Homo-oligomer: A and B are copies of this chain.
Amino acid sequence: MAKVLTPRAENYSQWYNDLVIKADMAENSAVRGCMVIKPYGYAIWEKMQAELDRMFKETGHVNAYFPLFIPKSFFSKEADHVKGFAKECAVVTHYRLKNSPDGKGVVVDEKAKLEEELIIRPTSETIIWHTYKNWIQSYRDLPLLINQWANVVRWEMRTRLFLRTAEFLWQEGHTAHATKKEAVEETLTILDVYSDFAENYLGIPVIKGLKTENEKFAGAVDTYCIEALMQDGKALQAGTSHFLGQNFAKAFDVKFATNDGKTEHVWATSWGVSSRLIGALIMAHSDDNGLVLPPKLAPFQVVIVPIYRKPEEREQTVDRAHQIKKELLAKGISVKVDDRDTHKPGWKFAEYELKGVPVRLAIGPRDLENKTIEIARRDTLTKEVVPQEGIAELIDQLMIDIQESIYNKALKFRETNTKNADSWDEFLERLDEGGFVLAHWDGTTETEKLIQEQTKATIRCIPMDVPAEEGICIKSGKPSKGRVIFAKAY
């Protein structure tokens, strides 16, 4: 069968685009920069949502819903926030259409102009802190631990399916606390939730760290992040957790009466991950044959393909396939039996390989005789014939093995592609090879920007789990207190 994807080695970017389309994950819509998330892609997002939502609730959070629209003036209230977000936004100016004078279609009714324009939320700090003002009077009202699942819009000029689109789906947490200590702890709790999710569900190893002043969220005191490495050696920011200090509380005048009768501004955090994680999932694991999905997030984990020529063979193999499906379902494994007559087994094999189904089972007349079944693993592309007896236990264990194996492969890749650089020349060489480059930096935005201009690499983060080490900045030669992670990034 002809390969349907451009190989990664030939053109990684094209491979990604091909894969997203051919595996029925998403496609571009009639609206510039906005995507349609197709059922197969959306099923992965639903699985992600379910796990993250459970993790948020286990850490004490509840969900709520705030308006899609934000009055324009709200953006101006927090000085840094307005610089970062009140730029490429979708702006609602009118609230009515009318029949066009020429009788063809509809036009904007100029009489229905809004007094103040509304912005489609690019992120919801402003509308939420405006709301919190009425919810918080006393320390008894704190903490507020609220999350929102929502769509947001940032009018990006260059878009790519899942990775960067004008509209995307995400969750945004917005918490309010009585003390700085508690807010910082919340920021780090969420960073751990994100890291746990990335590693144990997406199967993607991540580096936890702090963003530089230059890279942090507009309005944050500190932005923490998890950074992942894709197969082409580029970094991808997979989630951010912001300690906002009292910035938004001051901007929106949110104060509370403390336990001992004083009045103070509230401390805040915000944090989010988005449908971009689907892009990360695709890029981290997939190969030239198609998607490779970790069992924990695959829309279905096992596909069973009955193989037959004659009608009585069909009846028997399909029947046995459904019996095995039942056994697997009883173990909590999700299964699809593809018994369509309209497609041949070879076509089906290629299709489920493309779609990254973790395990494929095939059962034919000889298997019925021998009481065997063929198991094919998507991640390793290996096949073996095993007894039907005990198949459910075997696959149950295999799900765990595949999940681990996918993670370990990605981890090994990252380890191989994380290198130190101790001079400018070495730095440029390492960057050319791709991957994370650990290098000393003098801590100034000036040097950071200079390096970015000359190399297109950015500081992904100041890593949290790397021991302090004195050194010399690879660019300025000034003293440095520790290595930071550079990379070219999505």
| Contact with A91, one of B30, B108, B153, B155 (Cβ below 8 angstroms) | B108
Besides the known contacts A31-B70, A39-B146, 5 further A-B residue pairs in the complex with CB atoms under 8 A apart: A29-B127, A30-B131, A31-B127, A65-B169, A92-B93
Partner of A68, one of B73, B89, B167: B167
List of B residues within 8 angstroms of A140 by Cβ: 342
A138 to chain B, nearest CB (A): 10
- Residue-wise, chain A 445-481 has the 8 Å CB interface mask toward B (1 for contact) of 0000000000000000000000000000000000000
Q: A30-B71, A69-B31, A153-B68 are in contact. Are A95 and B106 (CB under 8 A)?
A: no
Residue A204 interfacial (CB < 8 Å)? no
User: Of B34, B62, B68, B108, which one neighbours A93 at CB under 8 angstroms?
Assistant: B108
Q: Check if B29 sits within 8 Å of A131, measured CB to CB.
A: yes
- Known contacts being A65-B42, A90-B69, is A97 close to B75, with CB within 8 Å? yes
| Bound-complex Cα distance A63 to B143 (A) | 35
- Asked whether any CB of chain B lies closer than 8 Å to the CB of A46, the reply is yes
Q: Which residues of B contact A64 (CB under 8 A)?
A: 36-39, 42
Question: Are B118 and A69 neighbours in the complex by a CB distance under 8 Å?
Answer: no
Stretch of A2-10, A80-88, A180-188, A397-405 at the chain-chain interface: A80-88
CA distance A105 to B34 in the complex (A): 28
Selected A-B contacts with CB under 8 Å, 10 pairs: A31-B67, A36-B64, A36-B65, A42-B63, A43-B62, A72-B108, A86-B106, A87-B98, A90-B92, A91-B97
Knowing A36-B66, A63-B43, A131-B36, say if A97 contacts B104 (CB, 8 Å): no
Chain B residue with the shortest CB-CB distance to A140: B342
Q: How far is the CA of A71 from the CA of B31 in the complex (A)?
A: 7
6 closest Cβ pairs, A-B complex: A76-B105, A34-B67, A37-B65, A39-B62, A91-B94, A95-B155
CA A48 to CA B140, docked complex, whole Å:
30
Contact indicator B90/A118 (Cβ below 8 Å):
yes
How many copies the complex holds: the figure is 2
Q: Do the beta carbons of A34 and B130 come within 8 Å of each other?
A: no
Q: Are A34 and B74 in contact (CB under 8 A)?
A: no
* Bound complex: CA A128 to CA B38 (Å): 11
- Say yes or no for A151: interface residue by CB 8 A criterion: yes
Any B CB within 8 A of the CB of A351:
no
Tell me whether A119 is interfacial, beta carbon within 8 Å.
yes
Cβ distance A405 to chain B, nearest Cβ, rounded Å: 29
Q: Which of B63, B66, B76, B94 has a CB less than 8 Å from the CB of A104? A: B76
| A89 / chain B contacts, CB cutoff of 8 Å | 95-97
Nearest to A91 among chain B residues (CB) is B94
Tell me if B93 and A93 are in contact (CB < 8 A): yes
Residues of B near A46 (CB, < 8 A) are 63
Known contacts A70-B31, A71-B31; decide if A120 and B92 are in contact (CB<8 Å): yes
Which residue of the partner chain B has the closest CB to A29?
B67
Do A87 and B97 form a contact, CB below 8 Å, given A67-B31, A70-B31, A167-B67?
yes
The minimal Cβ–Cβ distance linking A178 to chain B, given in whole angstroms, is: 14
Contact with B along A12-52 (1 / 0, CB 8 A): 00000000000000010111001111110011011000000
Are B91 and A92 interface neighbours, CB within 8 A? yes
Q: Which residue of B lies closest to A150 (CB)?
A: B151
Q: Is A117 an interface residue (CB 8 A)?
A: yes
Cα separation A179 to B432 with both chains bound (whole Å): 58
Which residues of chain A (153-168) have a CB below 8 Å from chain B? 153, 155, 167
* A69, B39: Cβ atoms closer than 8 Å: no
CB-based nearest B residue for A134: B27
Residues of B within 8 Å of A131, CB to CB, are: 29-30, 36
CB-based contact A118/B31 at 8 Å: yes
Task: Say yes or no: A30-B127 contact (C-beta < 8 A), given A36-B64, A64-B42.
Answer: yes
